Structure 1
Amino acid sequence: MGATSGLNPQQRELIAIGASIGGNCLPCLRYHFAEAVNAGCTIEEIEEAINVAQVVKQRPINDINKLAADLLARERQITYSAHPSQENA
């Protein structure tokens, strides 16, 4: 995995699980999940890493969905203000 750091193998694999989820890399997740187990991570630790990654990954999804809804609402307001007869169409 390259140069050594202050992280132990368990920490590196838990981080790699999060990065795999963030990067949508299925083979990476399979690999790092197995490596985390082999490094001695508990299922609870792995689950926490997965949960944190999912929360982080969900944020931009929520943001883009909100923007799309806001743009639609704004356009509807403009359209209906300009053409009130379309409101009931």
Structure 2
Amino acid sequence: MLIANATNLGLVRMAEACSISYDILAWTQEWYLRKETLAAANAAVVNYYHHRLPLTRTFGGGTLPSSDGQRFPVKGKSTTARAPGIGAGQ
């Protein structure tokens, strides 16, 4: 059910892909998936990765997020790459 929501697969397709019926997935989602329970589950996953995996320490203490505004040089053609000086914020 969490995978179905996280991947936009949906409960019907998730039920088709696994051994759990749609009725059980829908009932579980209705009774147990709430904003606060999802926030707690998300915090547990993020805290696990930020504080326990060695790779995350390479990028800092896990207290600052990365920015969507970062730019990196790109060789070749890309549908999302632009020449320097062209684009939003410039």
TM-score normalised by the shorter chain: which range applies?
A: under 0.3
Greater relative contact order, per chain length (Cα 8 Å cut-off, separation 6+)? 1
Q: TM-score, with normalisation over the residues of structure 2?
A: 0.28
